[in-house]
Structure 1
């Protein structure tokens, strides 16, 4: 199989597994006896796990291999998903939800940075000179299709059986992805560095993250914007499930929650398909990301102020579309500014900052939902996301060559030694 096909199958399997529970996750947690605050605090512990383990698992990807990191991720997520199901069966106290949520975060950190770095390095090794936005955009389309199928099936299956069955399906698909990756995934264009021990390697990862991330202004400002967009995005995705059921008037209509996730998947497909074309309408990649961020803020505020179910569905699609639109452009911008050897490291560092936003913002907005309702919490979320826009503008002002680049170029050395 070609590099891109392997990448798309990995995305398809991962997203299908995850999306079985995306439409019902918050409802699942509330059904287990948690409050809104506890449910989103559990999600925050998940992102806390990503923060804690992002750097150590980045060491695994850079010193052992991207494939090995992916395989560890599938097994860890399969086991911890099974534990999540057991907590629901037992109506376990919040403490155990927090513990297992942290371990779920560990599983995802084996994926973050590693899979994307594997793709870009393998494309470079095989002579790819095309447009990265197109590759990432097609990836979003694949994810959107998988999300549509998984979220619809997850909601329907939950309503026909119970809220726990989709979690068991998720664990099973992850095991299948382990087998697929073990057979076909190969580390191309990357040689693992095993010369350092774990502690020295961890310190080196932190140093490289700072050197090629925070010290490079154009990268630094994009990373600083990540907590606001990611934190609000995490919350909005899961808060929209019970909020739409509330607007619909039947809080047990799990298939409607699945439909909402499916609508988001269709919006993601549209965003992925149109991202490369819309990108060409702007001279700079950062302009595209800034415009999408402002549209996301507006959509969240309208969602929060609206009280009509079908209007909410329309703006849900708008929000999902612009959120998906920004993704491939932002990914291409970052990848074209990072040297190959440090790619997984800096991408993981970027993911870490996004997770930090989830740790703080999710429980805060969950508490606001307890006090004032989901609608108000979404409005507050829109205002919080707006805080990240000045950082995007600051990155744009650096005039990095990657901002106007239209074809992928592998960065062998730091192109901006002055920082």
Structure 2
């Protein structure tokens, strides 16, 4: 790796560190925070659903910002939006505001995250290609996952401890403060390398172009389409499980005010993420096809959630949680490399944002549905149902595998496979064994 590539990677890792540290201050206590504000289980997960609905609504418009104004501008807008809406969340908690206000601010939180989704990843891949990096992308994404996990561990543990020592609102104020720091950092160090914003169209025309390119290079390309269609089931269940595990572990522990135990759930997932990121490149090399890794991880993740839901022993739940988190983390870099290997540079942020949109759309439906199941039958049953829903994603992954896309077996994903105007790689018509 040359000096320029190392600098690009260091900036990417710093952005990951700051973003995740800020976000993770509340990850261990978010559900408890909403319940403490007077919301029911259904309302708490409905608020989360409005957050993901915001991501669905704004994903395409903010994708226009990333692809027509610049990835740096998109990132800066994300930090400002999230800092402001996080502060608003704290104020709603202080006021015990009615649910309608939680729904509105949750949608705006989703807006903040859509400025990030696709933009930072697209910035990294294009910048590395521009400076001549020719290594495999699993290693880079894996390092990002390790840094992500370390930040998540520190932030979630610290957030739980601070909440127990003070109150559930202080971690939200810390989050807003770190986001302000990240705005200043990114303003000075980020540069859009290897990418020239297309400003030839107005906002409405650009939005139409983004939608057309999302379909052309995403849904119209079978190998990409089936991976994206699997996202609503895997992402929707994953988001619910992450937040449901906080009160579920407290329930198994026997003390609903032990916020440190709630933080432990996020901390364990953070450690699992660190190991998953470290081992992702090695796990990838165990199999010839990337889709083999993704499919096996999906099966293991679904079974892990079902086992978690059926279990009633706290310490066994901790072990199952760590295993589930490791599987979820290890497959992430492989899926990222697979998708990036099939997307042209100019449309990268657009298609990645559309993939995120589909994942968020699943969360809009699945989170409140599973939250209602938790109200009626308990968290354990809701996790079992979630595991069953996650299984639905597996046939789509097999369908993507059957397309024999070159990116499935490629080791170097830094440069995407050439795509024809019809959205099909030049050699995709020839089946590969």
TM-score range, shorter chain: over 0.9
Match of 1:338 in 2: 343
Q: Which of residues 308, 321, 331 in structure 1 aligns to 2:313?
A: 308
Alpha-carbon distance in 1 for matches of 2:285, 2:185: 36
Residue 213 of structure 2 corresponds to residue 208 of structure 1: yes
Give secondary structure in 1 for the equivalent of 2:27. Answer: coil
Q: 1:384 aligns with which of 385, 389, 393?
A: 389
- 43, 54, 57: which one pairs with 1:52? 57
Match of 2:227 among 204, 207, 222: 222
Please state how far the C-alpha of 1:410 moved relative to its aligned partner. Answer: 1.6
CA drift of 1:409 comes to 4.3
For 1:366, the equivalent position in structure 2 comes to 371
Match of 1:99 among 77, 96, 104: 104
What corresponds to 1:293 in structure 2?
298
Q: Deviations over 1:98-119 (max 9, x none)?
A: 0000000000000000000000
User: Is the Cα contact below 8 Å between 1:396 and 1:403 reproduced in 2?
Assistant: yes
1:319 lines up with 2:324 in the alignment: yes
Q: Say whether residues 1:2 and 2:7 are aligned partners.
A: yes
Structure 1 segments, 4+ long, off by >4 Å, are none
Q: Does residue 1:416 correspond to 2:421, yes or no?
A: no
CA–CA distance in 2 between the matches of 1:261 and 1:198? 39
Shift of 1:413: 3.6
Shift of 1:411: 2.9
- The Cα of 1:2 is off from its aligned counterpart by 0.5
Aligned twin of 2:203: 198
Q: Secondary structure of 1:21's match?
A: helix
Asked whether the equivalents of residues 340 and 412 of structure 1 are also in contact (C-alpha less than 8 Å), the reply is: no
What secondary structure is seen at the aligned counterpart in 2 of 1:20? helix
Which of the numbers 123, 128, 134 marks the counterpart of 2:133?
A: 128
Q: Which of 264, 269, 280 is 2:269 aligned to?
A: 264
User: In structure 1, how many angstroms separate the alpha carbons of the residues matched to 2:154 and 2:297?
Assistant: 26
Alpha-carbon offset, residue 408 of structure 1: 2.5
Match status 1:28 vs 2:33: yes
Query: Structure 1 length as normaliser, TM-score?
Result: 0.99
Unaligned runs of 5+ in 2: 1-5
Q: Distance in 1 between matches of 2:72 and 2:414?
A: 23
Aligned position for 1:153: 158
Q: Distance in 2 between matches of 1:185 and 1:409?
A: 19
Q: Does 1:328 align with 2:337?
A: no
Aligned to 2:380: 375
Cα RMSD for the two superposed structures: 0.9
2:173 is aligned with 1:164: no
Higher alpha-carbon deviation: 99-108 or 259-268: 259-268
Q: TM-score with structure 2 length normalisation? A: 0.96
Tell me the distance in 1 between the aligned counterparts of 2:361 and 2:392.
15
How many Å separate the matches in 2 of 1:411 and 1:83? 41
Structure-1 residue corresponding to 2:3: none
* Residues 89 and 409 (structure 1), Cα distance of their counterparts in 2 relative to 1, 3 Å cut: closer
Secondary structure at 2:57's aligned position in 1? Answer: helix
Matched length: 419
Q: Distance between the aligned counterparts of 1:19 and 1:402, measured in 2?
A: 33
> For 1:242, which of 239, 244, 247 is the aligned residue?
247
The 5 Å alignment of 1:14-93 reads 14-93=19-98
Distance 1:380 1:371 in 2: 13
Q: Give the C-alpha shift of residue 412 in structure 1.
A: 7.0
Q: C-alpha offsets along residues 301-331 of structure 1, whole Å, 9 cap, x if unaligned?
A: 0100000000000000011000001100000
Q: Following the alignment from structure 1 to structure 2, what is the Cα–Cα distance between the partners of residues 311 and 322?
A: 17
- Structure-1 separation of matches of 2:20 and 2:388: 29
Distance, in Å, in 2 between the alignment partners of 1:97 and 1:4 is 37
1-side partners of 2:174 and 2:49: how far apart?
24
Question: Which whole-Å CA distance do the structure 2 matches of 1:258 and 1:371 have between them?
Answer: 25
Distance in 2 between the 1:350 and 1:327 partners? 14
Query: Counterpart in 2 of 1:276?
Result: 281
Distance, in Å, in 2 between the alignment partners of 1:210 and 1:129 is 29
Whether the 8 Å CA contact 2:127–2:193 is kept in 1: the answer is yes
Tell whether the 8 Å contact from 2:407 to 2:413 is kept in structure 1 after alignment: no
Q: Report the counterpart of residue 180 of structure 1 in structure 2.
A: 185
1:57-109: per-residue Cα shift (whole Å, max 9, x none)?
00000010000000000000000000000000000000000000000000000
